[in-house]
Amino acid sequence: MDKIIIHVDMDAFYAAVEMRDDPSLKGKPLIIGGSPDSRGVVATCNYEARKYGIHSAMNVKEAYRRCPHGIFMYPDIAKYRAVSDKIHAIWNTYTKKIEYMSLDEGYLDITDSMTDAQTPFDIARSIKERTKTELGLTCSVGIGYSMMSAKLASEEKKPDGLYAILSREELINLIIDRPADTIYGVGKQTANRLAELGIHTVRDIYIHEERILSSFKSHGKSIVRLAKGIDEREVMPYYESEAKSIGTEHTFEKDISDMAYLETEFLAMAKKLSLKIKRRNKFAKTVTIKITFADMQTITRSKTAEGISDADKIYERVKSLFDIVEKDREIRLIGISLSGLEDVRYKQLHLEEML
Ligand code: DCP
Ligand code: MG
């Protein structure tokens, strides 16, 4: 049976909280970020400021150049976090199967929690209504049969939107002529590589399916499936994401002596784990590799240092461990595990950049 997933994303979150708390800011372009003379970047801005082409991650100096009469404010993360807790508390009354993506965004799987008398639209409207009356804020809500369809639906009518994409056909009709990076998992880098293959839109993904499958391996398979509307990802509730470690391992059909090949495998694993750990909003302090030799002897090697989540950082640590393993026998299995997981401190890096 299809799932019913709701994706909620607050509108201009930090800016909306500031406008709510100081109504004199309403109607004026408001930019939250570093001061105009600092090296900071824009965290967000309200919709008035967006008319000037200002957006998240833009250099504040550039934002100031575009809109010198705008109001520029530093973010107050503690305040937004407290508001976020209240938002999450509202969501929690509809289902316990919630995956929080950031302070202002989350997926709610309501498949099993909805009563017979309710439709997904009742729940979506109720969430919007309560967010408005109890917190004085607006959000955009998407209803989908999968995580990707729910997310695209919430973006569709932003701000204060409500939209549903309830079948693969509807999803495909909506996205077929959109850029390839509409597909979850297609970031800048992948989009560039796709463009080199002449693939620019979702339609091109269908046309050149074979080319993608041969050039991108398992990532290609996932791109093609998602483009066709097949998205089996489960909403991962908080309690499940509390697992103490995240790992993956691979047993080879034949024992391997080619070290360069093993390094490529480790790199692919690091990429996979990076996606997983980022989805859980975590950093890992400890990286452990596991190696089983052809004679079934297994060894593990660990390194603990600052928390990381990027694939290249994970791989770097894996490589430093693998380099010092004595490779005198063929290898049957390799694995990586990430532990010492800590929460991503929301935007702290960004704050540091600004101060
Ligand atoms: N944020 C940030 N730096 C970024 C992006 C976002 O600090 N590069 C912060 C500020 C945002 C909040 O996270 O208010 C939520 O991010 P969104 O991408 O959901 O953006 P907004 O909620 O601000 O706007 P929208 O209405 O487009 O969702
Ligand atoms: Mg938002």
Amino acid at 58: M
> Which residues neighbour 183 within 8 Å (Cβ) at sequence distance 6 or greater?
148, 175, 202, 205, 223, 226, 227
Residues in contact with ligand 1 (CB, 6 Å cut-off):
9-14, 43-44, 56-57, 102, 104-105, 158-159, 347, 350
Q: What is the DSSP string of 46-91?
A: -HHHHTTT--TTSBHHHHHHH-TTSEEE---HHHHHHHHHHHHHHH
Kindly report, residue by residue over 181-205, the tens digit of the pLDDT. Answer: 999 989 888 999 999 999 999 999 9
For residue 352, what pLDDT is reported?
Answer: 39
CA gyration radius for the chain? 23
What does the alpha-carbon distance between residue 225 and residue 16 come to, in Å, rounded to a whole number?
A: 36
Res 353 pLDDT > 60? no
- Atom of ligand 1 at shortest distance to CA of 104? 15
Q: Ligand 1 centroid vs 241 CA: distance in angstroms?
A: 23
Q: Is the dihedral of CA 225, 246, 306, 280 positive or negative?
A: positive
Most confident of 5-19, 71-85, 214-228: 5-19
Name the residue of 46, 50, 56 to mutate for ligand 1: max ligand atoms within 8 A of Cβ: 56
Inter-CA distances, 351 with 32, 36, 102, 232, 355, Å? 11, 15, 16, 35, 6
For residue 310, what pLDDT is reported?
Answer: 92
Kindly report, residue by residue over 116-130, the tens digit of the pLDDT. Answer: 999 999 999 999 999
- Atom of ligand 1 at shortest distance to CA of 346? 7
| Range scoring the smallest mean pLDDT among 81-85, 276-280, 323-327 | 276-280
Tokens 């079934």 sit at which residue? 296
For residue 241, what pLDDT is reported?
Answer: 58
Q: Ligand 1 centroid vs 132 CA: distance in angstroms?
A: 18
**% residues pLDDT > 90 (the chain):** 75
Q: Is the dihedral of CA 45, 47, 52, 56 positive or negative?
A: positive
Q: Ligand 1 centroid vs 120 CA: distance in angstroms?
A: 26
| Range scoring the smallest mean pLDDT among 18-22, 72-76, 117-121, 250-254 | 250-254
- Atom of ligand 1 at shortest distance to CA of 32? 10
- Work out the pLDDT band at 351, boundaries 50, 70, 90: very low
**Bridge partner list, 301:** 289
Length of the chain: 355
- Atom of ligand 1 at shortest distance to CA of 47? 26
Nearest alpha-carbon partner for 4 in 164, 215, 137:
164
**% residues pLDDT > 70 (the chain):** 94
Q: Ligand 1 centroid vs 335 CA: distance in angstroms?
A: 36
Task: Write the residue with the smallest CA distance to atom 9 of ligand 1.
Answer: 43
What does the alpha-carbon distance between residue 28 and residue 19 come to, in Å, rounded to a whole number?
A: 10
Prior bond to 237 cis, omega within 30?
no
**Which residues does the annotation mark as catalytic?**
105
Kindly report, residue by residue over 228-282, the tens digit of the pLDDT. Answer: 999 988 888 865 556 789 999 988 888 999 999 999 999 999 999 998 888 787 8
Q: What is the DSSP string of 192-251?
A: HHHHHTT--BHHHHHHTHHHHHHHHHHHHHHHHHHHTT---PPP--TTGGG-SEEEEEEE
What does the alpha-carbon distance between residue 305 and residue 197 come to, in Å, rounded to a whole number?
A: 39
Burial of residue 266, with CB atoms counted within 10 A of its CB: 0-12 exposed, 13-18 middle, 19 or more buried: buried
For residue 34, what pLDDT is reported?
Answer: 78
Contact at 8 Å (CB) between 327 and 273? no
For residue 348, what pLDDT is reported?
Answer: 40
What does the alpha-carbon distance between residue 348 and residue 58 come to, in Å, rounded to a whole number?
A: 17
Name the residue of 17, 20, 41, 44 to mutate for ligand 1: max ligand atoms within 8 A of Cβ: 44
0.85 cut: is pTM over it?
no
Within 10 angstroms of residue 309's Cβ, the number of other Cβ atoms is 21
Contact at 8 Å (CB) between 341 and 289? no
Contact at 8 Å (CB) between 318 and 289? yes
Q: Ligand 2 centroid vs 44 CA: distance in angstroms?
A: 9
Q: What is the mean pLDDT of the chain?
A: 91
